């Protein structure tokens, strides 16, 4: 990504301000405010506003549990306790608003998370810019041969070159024709809301996206996961780094209990107990399907 | 649209069944079940399942208001009362599930309605079909000259021909290249989740979409409105006709109080009272902006 | 209400702080932060945190509508336009968090608004305080004789005195027995989660309640309305005064288009056009029921 | 619970009907329709309507994943796969509507689950019945001495008798006074919306509650859990038995992966791998707090 001089100037103007507030302030988040974190070739994520910090999570929990939280001596321990026991409402008391620029096919996955507020750039009203996502050569992956939704090895040589050539040429041609159709020089000009249908799914759009911390963690668990598509995962990872600076205790608990954790079924727990008791358990004696057993082996480090 | 013989056979098989149920049954809706209502050139809407009927709305209202609803003598009157006073929860007690085939740029507007359940065809897992929305000549509208989001006159002659030619050629070329990139003949084949980015926004997708009646009415009020984009409005209108057969009293109340009604501001009500008292009110003496005044004149039939 | 010295000291400590922030700051809201606005006899509403201001609404709208919003010359006009056309997503970009102390029967109405985040004081973990809502004599209303859900005239004399006496005596006796049951002096002591069932619905609870501005306006339209129960209306009115200081343009638009406005049905609009054309329309010739006609007369100032 | 003869007759009338439908029918659920499953002393749960079955879940998944689901040979395997990988949207395609009668303190916990539709009996409009939850002696538990939110041993002898006496007497006195206050014999009669505030939290209310299967499973995981309060757990358990008959494959997967499963943190997984490799891991060498370690021991069967 290269921000335009106008965008860079706008960010600097936003960061030049500053005023007094009585609200909770997260110093780690103030350092991020308005700055554009580059993602993919033309995309970015930047924090526009936030509400709350680690202390705000604890404050809300203490309203709920009253004296019940007195026994937990510090904020970090309380936050770990809340995360471990799925007490999600205190995490909902923090809120964050991002400005995101992203390809449309990523936006289509992203929007499936419904518990968020969105204002997207409208191609009914306005004209989209000529910016398309073209994968870097090292992300030009083949279809997986074992998994319908996965990626396999990276494409090589002539095949890779051909794909890049097609993606670039089609995107540019589609945009040329978009411009030609809406042009009002010497013709009426097609309605924008119709002309946009000619543009491919790798064109960039942008939106403001606002979400509470509990639902953001849910989004991150799914989208920063290694099974998520690379092009949305890099956005999730950029957000992870921001959240780690915003609410360090909550983010550390999220990493331990969610990102780094795993859910085991009743069958898996039964196998585990037998294994710890010295029994040699096999897929056949586990009661699990082959796929489940393979995943279970991965979780306990025998994959 | 032309359903494939396989699709037609599937629908006939679904309608050939039939079983006894103790649940509320809407005869008007049973007649629609599974049938495909054609929309645009390749799209459709069909009802897959439903829960409740006009009586179910009243039954829920009577649980809430108890004896308070006894004074309303019949279901139609009760439903009109509920709609008029924005008592929305009884309408939430009905649910409907549709199978919809629609262009991606329409799907992107549609999904903005968050209070619904969606299962969309995944182009990460599967290969999209070669079907694109190409507007009929009479819907090939120019950009409005008075309204940033609107449509103006229909394009004519050479300009219209050129637009149709571009849309068709670009869609087909993009699909040819999509097929070429994912092909595994003599090459590895690009991952589907990447190749799809080359496809334009007028390609068709499909989904199952489930929503309660209250939220469906909200969707219909916005999308069956004359200001909605034509390509989503025709889907909303098809759904309106289905809902009218499903819950006739509720739909009639919706038409009277929502689709055919209007909300007036405090300023507009003040003007109205002055006009009814014989005063000659003008935009200047109304306190409204020019845009507001124009809309107000439209509402009271002087537009 | 009388805040305890501890509560008063806590509020003063919260307001004594202050730090620099780069976020949007609403001076009107900073003046409210943490202060307790008294409601009913022991309740209060106080702002704990907020995100955004009038400018943040416009900023989000401009992302969506791009150049489409350039023609609207100022923020106030843009906000009025958004409110008039039910463009709700920009208002969702503001968020507010309240600390509310309220009787349980009010909390039960309040919680029906689902699009909000809540952390309530838990009577499973902690012991409730001996504080009950006892209506002031002027709010001790009789059951309406015309409306199942309404209030009629104020109770007088001996009847009023008897009601107040019963409410006070029952509440205190219930609380005495609550204390006696959970006491661990000379006995095991009943579990708190069970003992609480003896307490009446006028005991006070408290919660943190966080909501976006669009959904808050929806709450206020229903609960600051003259048909809302007095005991929740006074909370809504206190919040209205706070919101007017937080986002003055948005609140003014809300007052004009929502609180002071009215929705007319297709039938009502038809009558209106006939009346403006000089016709003498009666309930009989209106096509409306008696109830609808009475409400319509009220809206146009002939009630 | 003892249903009144009127209620019993109403249920029989509802079950006497029956009509043809083309919709998916679950025979297991048809057998439950309208019947009242008794819960606590006066409460019940009964199914009023439902949408979908196990096959409907698979049908929705196959729309999403297309050919990706062809490799899974049968519905049961597909449903287990969806549950294991948190693919929640196909489960959202089933919906169920219950009629529930429950004490108000249970209703207050229940309503915290926001993703559902509710129509509750209104004590503003109507008069509540004289029915209170009085615990059976074996559920009259003492406050836990180790856990702020838990229950300890059952109360015995004189203490138990005294508690029951207080609960009964206070409830009846409160109801007597409620009746006295709203009575219109020889007086105006207090408004119902005010008089209800005198009633304790163990009085019964009732509502219609509609929810999709994914969110219902989330509710059941929390409320059928052994840490949930007994009085809500028995409702959750009654619903579990109904759901097992409605969608047998989905319910079995839920039992294996959610109810009987457990989530382990990154730290716990690390310990597990060390233990399986033969290392003697202690709380001190685990990196976990005492509470976490105790819970971990429980999960792996060493508690």
Across the interface, whether the CB atoms of D143 and C170 are under 8 A apart is answered no
pLDDT of residue C10: 87
Helix (H, G, I), strand (E, B) or coil at C3: coil
Structure tokens at D227: 């840490």
Pick from A69-83, A167-181, B50-64: least confident: A69-83
Q: What percent of chain C has pLDDT over 90?
A: 86
- Chain C touched by D285 (CB under 8 Å): no
Backbone angles phi, psi at A246, to 5 degrees: -75, -55
- Rounded CA-CA distance C301/B270 in Å is 9
Does the pLDDT of residue C66 top 70, yes or no?
A: no
Across the interface, whether the CB atoms of D90 and B20 are under 8 A apart is answered no
pLDDT of residue C3: 79
Helix (H, G, I), strand (E, B) or coil at B101: strand
pLDDT of residue A302: 86
pLDDT tens-place string over residues A71-119: 556 899 999 999 999 999 999 999 999 999 999 999 999 999 999 999 9
- Rounded CA-CA distance D292/D281 in Å is 14
pLDDT tens-place string over residues A211-232: 999 999 999 999 999 999 999 9
**Residue C124 is nearest to which of D104, D166, D229, comparing CB atoms?**
D229
pLDDT of residue C48: 97
Name the strand (E) or helix (H) holding A297.
helix A290-299
**Residue A143 is nearest to which of B133, B180, B191, comparing CB atoms?**
B191
- List of chains touching D (3+ CB pairs within 8 A): A, B, C
Give the residue ranges of DSSP H helices in chain D. 5-16, 27-30, 54-65, 75-84, 104-110, 157-182, 192-195, 213-223, 230-246, 248-254, 266-276, 283-286, 290-299
Per-residue pLDDT, averaged over C20-26, amounts to 97
Interface test with A, best of D64, D74, D84, D215 (most A CBs within 10 A): D84
Per-residue pLDDT, averaged over B172-191, amounts to 97
Per-residue pLDDT, averaged over B47-65, amounts to 92
- Domain C5-133+203-259 CATH class label: alpha beta
Report angle CA C155, C159, C164 to the nearest 5 degrees. 85
C-alpha dist (Å) from residue A147 to A140, D76, D277: 17, 20, 31
Across the interface, whether the CB atoms of B201 and A196 are under 8 A apart is answered yes
Interface test with C, best of D194, D209, D215 (most C CBs within 10 A): D194
* Active-site residue (options: C162, C223, C233, C267): C223
**Residue B170 is nearest to which of A191, A194, A198, comparing CB atoms?**
A198
pLDDT tens-place string over residues C148-197: 767 889 998 999 999 999 999 999 999 999 999 999 999 999 999 999 99
- Chain D touched by B143 (CB under 8 Å): no
| B37 pLDDT tier (thresholds 50, 70, 90) | very high
- Chain B touched by D105 (CB under 8 Å): no
pLDDT of residue D119: 96
**Residue C34 is nearest to which of A18, A22, A56, comparing CB atoms?**
A22
C-alpha dist (Å) from residue A251 to A27, A237, A254: 15, 13, 5
Q: Which residues of chain D have pLDDT under 70?
A: 1-2, 65-73, 303
Does the pLDDT of residue A70 top 70, yes or no?
A: no
Residues of chain B in contact with residue A173, where contact means CB-CB under 8 angstroms, are 170, 173
pLDDT of residue A63: 85
pLDDT of residue D66: 60
pLDDT of residue B5: 87
pLDDT of residue B4: 83
Is C66 or A56 the better-scoring residue by pLDDT?
A56
pLDDT tens-place string over residues B266-303: 999 999 999 999 999 999 999 999 999 999 999 999 86
For residue D226, how many other CB atoms are within 10 A of its CB? 6
Under 8 Å CB-to-CB from B40, ≥6 apart: which residues? B1, B102, B103, B133, B231, B234
Per-residue pLDDT, averaged over B59-81, amounts to 77
Does the pLDDT of residue A66 top 70, yes or no?
A: no
Residues of chain C in contact with residue A207, where contact means CB-CB under 8 angstroms, are 63
pLDDT of residue B211: 98
Q: Which of residues 164-223 of A touch C (CB under 8 A)?
A: 206-208, 210, 212
- Candidates D247, D249, D211; CA nearest to D53 is D247
pLDDT tens-place string over residues B93-143: 999 999 999 999 999 999 999 999 999 999 998 999 999 999 999 999 999
Across the interface, whether the CB atoms of B152 and A194 are under 8 A apart is answered no
Under 8 Å CB-to-CB from D254, ≥6 apart: which residues? D83, D217, D220, D221, D243
Per-residue pLDDT, averaged over C132-147, amounts to 91
Does the pLDDT of residue B197 top 90, yes or no?
A: yes
Query: Rounded to an integer, what is the distance from CA D23 to the centroid of its chain?
Result: 27
Query: How, if at all, do strands D151-154 and D43-51 pair?
Result: unpaired
Per-residue DSSP letter, D68: G
Name the strand (E) or helix (H) holding A179.
helix A157-182
Across the interface, whether the CB atoms of D71 and A148 are under 8 A apart is answered yes
pLDDT tens-place string over residues C229-246: 999 999 999 999 999 999
- Chain C touched by B116 (CB under 8 Å): no
Under 8 Å CB-to-CB from B237, ≥6 apart: which residues? B224
Q: What percent of chain B has pLDDT over 70?
A: 95
pLDDT tens-place string over residues B78-96: 999 999 999 999 999 999 9
Across the interface, whether the CB atoms of D68 and A149 are under 8 A apart is answered yes
- Candidates C56, C104, C37; CA nearest to C212 is C56
| C145 pLDDT tier (thresholds 50, 70, 90) | confident
A-C contacts (CB, under 8 Å): 152
Across the interface, whether the CB atoms of C148 and B71 are under 8 A apart is answered yes
pLDDT of residue B205: 97
- Candidates D194, D203, D192, D142; CA nearest to D168 is D203
- Positive or negative, the CA dihedral D178, D179, D185, D186 is negative
pLDDT tens-place string over residues C75-110: 999 999 999 999 999 999 999 999 999 999 999 999
Structure tokens at B188: 């590895």
pLDDT of residue B231: 98
Return the exposure string of C222-254: e unless at least 16 CB atoms fall within 10 Å of the residue's CB, then b: bbbeeebbebbbbbbbbbbebbebbbbbbbbbb
Per-residue pLDDT, averaged over C254-280, amounts to 95
Name the strand (E) or helix (H) holding C209.
strand C204-212
- Could you tell me which chain A residue has the CA closest to the CA of C12? A22
Does the pLDDT of residue C72 top 60, yes or no?
A: no
Mean pLDDT for all residues in chain C: 93
- Rounded CA-CA distance B69/B75 in Å is 10
Per-residue DSSP letter, D86: T
Does the pLDDT of residue B51 top 60, yes or no?
A: yes
Q: Which of residues 11-40 of B touch D (CB under 8 A)?
A: 14-15, 17-25, 30, 33-34
Is B258 annotated in the active site?
Answer: no
pLDDT of residue D172: 98
CATH code linked to domain D5-133+202-259: 3.30.1360.170
pLDDT of residue D151: 87
Question: Do residues D33 and D15 touch, judged by C-beta distance below 8 A?
Answer: yes
């Amino acid at each position: 990504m290269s921000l335009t001089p106008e965008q860079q100037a706008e960010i600097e103007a936003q960061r030049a301000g500053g005023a007094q507030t009585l609200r909770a302030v997260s110093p780690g988040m103030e350092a991020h405010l308005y700055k554009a974190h580059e993602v993919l070739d033309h995309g970015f994520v930047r924090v526009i506003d936030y509400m709350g910090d680690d202390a705000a999570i604890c404050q809300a929990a203490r309203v709920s549990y009253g004296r019940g939280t007195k026994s937990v001596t510090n904020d970090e321990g309380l936050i770990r306790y809340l995360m471990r026991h799925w007490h999600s409402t205190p995490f909902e008391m923090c809120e964050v608003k991002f400005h995101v620029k992203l390809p449309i096919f990523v936006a289509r996955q992203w929007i499936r998370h419904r518990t968020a507020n969105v204002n997207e750039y409208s191609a009914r009203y306005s004209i989209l810019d000529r910016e398309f996502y073209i994968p870097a050569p090292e992300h030009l992956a083949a279809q997986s041969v074992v998994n319908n939704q996965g990626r396999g090895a990276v494409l090589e040589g002539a095949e890779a070159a051909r794909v890049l050539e097609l993606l670039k040429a089609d995107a540019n041609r589609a945009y040329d024709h978009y411009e030609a159709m809406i042009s009002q020089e010497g013709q009426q000009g097609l309605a924008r809301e119709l002309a946009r249908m000619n543009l491919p799914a790798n064109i960039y759009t942008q939106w403001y996206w606002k979400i509470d911390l509990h639902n953001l963690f849910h989004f991150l668990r799914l989208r920063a996961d290694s099974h998520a598509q690379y092009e949305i995962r890099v956005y999730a990872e950029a957000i992870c780094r921001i959240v780690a600076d915003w609410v360090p205790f909550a983010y550390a608990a999220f990493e331990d209990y969610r990102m780094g954790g795993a859910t085991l079924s009743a069958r898996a727990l039964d196998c585990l107990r037998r294994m710890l008791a010295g029994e040699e358990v096999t897929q056949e004696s586990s009661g699990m399907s082959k796929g489940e057993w393979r995943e279970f082996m991965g979780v306990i480090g025998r994959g």
